[in-house]
Amino acid sequence: MASGNKKSNNFVSLLYKKFTIGRQTYYYYFMWRNKLSNSKTDLSVLSEEEFIYKYCRKKSKGVYNDGSVSFNNMKMWESTEEYQGHMQELYSFKMNQDFYKLYETYLTKAMAGDEKALNSLKTIKKEIESLNKASRTKTKVVEETQYDMK
C-alpha cells in the first residue's frame, strides 16, 4: 500500500485530473521524479530502471521496446512550461503544508506561555494572511482574463 497522508493524496488527485487520456505516463513520471505516491502506488521507491520497465516500454508488433525513447521524451518534458507549472503547484502545496505545521507547533508553544513562540505565531499569521490575499488577487486576475477572452 502506498504511503502518504490525506492532504497529499488530495493534491495527487487534482494533479491526476490534469492529465488527459494517453498522457498518464507523464503523470507517473512527474510523481516518480518528485518522489510522490498515490493511493495505489508508491512511485518513490522505484529505481530509474524499474520506472522505465513499468511505465515507458511500448508494445509494437507484439514486441516491447526498451522504453528509452519514451523516457528521454519525459526528461525533455521537464523543461516545458507545463512541467514547470506542475512544479510550482507542488511547491506551493508543500509550502502551505509547512506553514500549517509551523502554525500548529507555535500555537502549542504560545499557549504554554512561550513569548518567542507567540511572536513567531503572529508573524506566521501575517504571512498566511498575505499568501491568502495574493491567492485571491491571482484568482481574480485569472477570472478577469478568462472573461476578457470570451
- pLDDT (average), residues 20-25: 81
Contact 109, 117 (CB under 8 A): yes
Instruction: Quickly list DSSP for the chain.
Output: -----HHHHHHHHHHHHTSPTT-HHHHHHHHHHTT-B-SS-BGGG--HHHHIIIII--EETTEE--SHHHHHHHHHHTTSHHHHHHHHHHHHHHHHHHHHHHHHHHHHHHHTT-HHHHHHHHHHHHHHHHHHHHHHHHHHHHHHHHHHH-
Range of the domain at 118: 83-150
Tally of structural domains, the chain? 2
Q: Which of 54, 79, 104 is the last residue of a domain?
A: 79
pLDDT band at 148 (very low <50, low <70, confident <90, very high): low
| Judgement on whether residues 75 and 87 belong to the same structural domain of the protein | no
| Judgement on whether residues 75 and 17 belong to the same structural domain of the protein | yes
pLDDT at 105 over 60: yes
- Predicted TM-score (pTM) of this structure: 0.68
**Residues sharing a CB contact under 8 Å with residue 34, sequence separation 6 or more, in sequence order:** 87, 90
Query: Would you state the pLDDT for residue 49?
Result: 95
Is the Cα dihedral 4, 102, 104, 96 positive or negative?
A: negative
In tens, the pLDDT along 30-65 reads 999 999 988 888 999 999 999 999 999 887 878 888
